[in-house]
Every structure is written in structure tokens, then in C-alpha cells.
Structure 1
């Protein structure tokens, strides 16, 4: 049973504490990375994106277009920087386009 605090805290602080207590941060990071990819890349790239997976510090993106994969491979560093800025932390160290 979780301990009960008598002081009043905000909902944001309570949720943050819940995530830390139950070690849910890695799962939330996986979801947040997929959302950040969708937001940053737009509809054109998302139409050809079949899956986005984060494993450790590597982001695996599966694309259905080889031409798009080649084009995105030229800007891997910029894509990683943009995604890390969107997430607010340095989470992605390597990007693999499949």
C-alpha cells in the first residue's frame, strides 16, 4: 500500500511521483517518442512510416519507401536533435531507418 502524504500537492507532482514510484518512465518515453516523430515529420513522412520503436537509446523507424529512407538518412543528426528537443531530454543517441 502506498504511503499517504498529509500535505497538499498538485496533480502534476502527484503524477510525477506515481510514474517514478512505479518505474513507468521508460514506457512513457516510448510513447512520447512515437508522438514526437508524428508531430515533427508531418503527414508526408507519417504516411510511409510503419513503426517507431525505442529500445535503450536507439530509435528504430521502419519506412515503406526506400526513397524516403535514403532522403532521411542524410539528415539523421538533425532528426535526432529535433526529437530530443521535442522530448525535453537527451534520449535518442542513434537512429536506424529500416
Structure 2
């Protein structure tokens, strides 16, 4: 029964194009957890589209720092999420 419910929920999310939105909510929570309050305060936008995570910051220094850490951030986020949800990070 549990397996059928899980499959039904996944099918509903997919049919209503909600899978990516749900993952985006999970990613926002993951971002706050992994990056902490300091970085989260300067993050003005987090958007997931087709495996690409678009991040916008209000700090040029933070943009520069995260540009050099993209692969590490992707690895940390995917590990925390338990799946390969983020393939690329684009900083704006």
C-alpha cells in the first residue's frame, strides 16, 4: 500500500508539473541548512530549472567566493538531498 501511495503522489506531481517546484522548496531548505544564516541573508533568489540552480546574491564578494566553490556546493547539496537534483550552478 505504501509503495502505491508513493507512486500515486509522484504521478500526481509529474502530471501537474509540480516535481520541480517541490524540489525547489527542498533545495531552498537545504541551502539554508548547508550555507547558514550569513550566506542565506545575502541570497536573493534560488530557482531550479532543468537541473540548473540559478542563484542571485546581493553581495559581489559572495558571488565571487561561490563562483570558485560551485562543484563543492553541488556535491554537498546533492548529498544532502539524497539525489542528483543539481547538475549546474549559475550565479547571477
TM-score grouping bracket, smaller chain normalisation: 0.7 to 0.9
User: Does residue 83 of structure 1 match 2:69?
Assistant: no
Q: C-alpha separation between the residues in 2 aligned to 1:18 and 1:73?
A: 39
Deviation at 1:25, TM superposition (A): 2.5
Segments of structure 2 that go 5 or more residues without pairing to the other structure are: none
Q: C-alpha separation between the residues in 2 aligned to 1:79 and 1:66?
A: 18
Q: 1:13 to 1:32 in 2, by over 3 A?
A: farther
Task: Count residues in correspondence.
Answer: 88
Q: C-alpha separation between the residues in 2 aligned to 1:62 and 1:19?
A: 31
Deviation at 1:20, TM superposition (A): 1.4
Query: Of Structure 1 and Structure 2, which has the larger fraction of its residues in helix?
Result: 2
* 1:1-98 equivalences in 2 (<5 Å): 9-10=1-2, 14=5, 16-22=6-12, 23=14, 24-98=18-92
Q: Paired residue for 1:5?
A: none
Segments of 4+ in structure 1 off by > 4 A?
A: none
Q: C-alpha separation between the residues in 1 aligned to 2:9 and 2:43?
A: 29
Deviation at 1:18, TM superposition (A): 3.5
Q: Is the 8 A contact 1:53 1:61 kept in 2?
A: yes
TM-score by length of structure 1 reads 0.81
Two-structure CA RMSD over aligned residues (Å): 1.5
